[in-house]
Amino acid sequence: MTLTLNRRREPLTSLALYHLFKWSAVAPALRFYFRGRVHGLDQVPQAGPLIVVANHASDFDPPLLSACMRRPVSYMAKEELFRVPVLSQAIRLYGAYPVKRAAADRSAIRAAIHQLQQGWAVGIFLSGTRTPDGRIPNPKLGAAMIAAKVQAPLLPVSLWGTQHILPRGSRFPQPAPITVRIGAAIAPPPSSSRVHLEATTQQCVDAIHALHDLGR
């Protein structure tokens, strides 16, 4: 499958909303409250299709990661959220796309490809769900599958420390120190064969774990 690009960048309205939310809320919180450190910004392509792959330990990961990319990152969200007035329009503008729980794999792949065609970077957590230590014990193949279909690069990113933002029993975010490390882009799999998908996925996991092991 060859990706036909409709845009090189995200829609202008979405780009404006991204910068508004980033500079008014997320960036100040990351810098001052979480004492955030970001390494590897020069690794992020600022235009064209891109699949950002990362570990996942907190509900705060999507906005923090997107803010560190210097470009919007589109994520999947539960279909139910898109039935809520106002919220639906807001999260669509911010890049979220709906996924049906009953057919998450198929619908997620189609929606992610559509976002890439619209000039978005697409974010995918390789574990598929949060893990308590930020490691990726059982990576999913979805990111590599999408990369193979559209021949888009995968950008490995480590989120260190986010599991401490909202510890068990806490009602409010804690000022946990956060470090985001961005690695070198990884080439997409040459085909959608399971062997190629597994090899590329493991390459992404190894890169993320290596970045994560650098710690603070």
Q: What DSSP designation does 59 have?
A: T
Max avg pLDDT among 9-18, 95-104, 203-212: 203-212
- State yes or no: pLDDT of 88 exceeds 80: no
Q: Enumerate the β-bridge partners of residue 54.
A: 125, 157
The CATH fold of domain 12-212: Glycerol-3-phosphate (1)-acyltransferase (3.40.1130)
pLDDT single digits (tens) 187-198: 999 999 999 999
* Cα 201 from chain centre: 15
Contact 198, 138 (CB under 8 A): no
User: What's the pTM?
Assistant: 0.90
Return the pLDDT at 103: 54
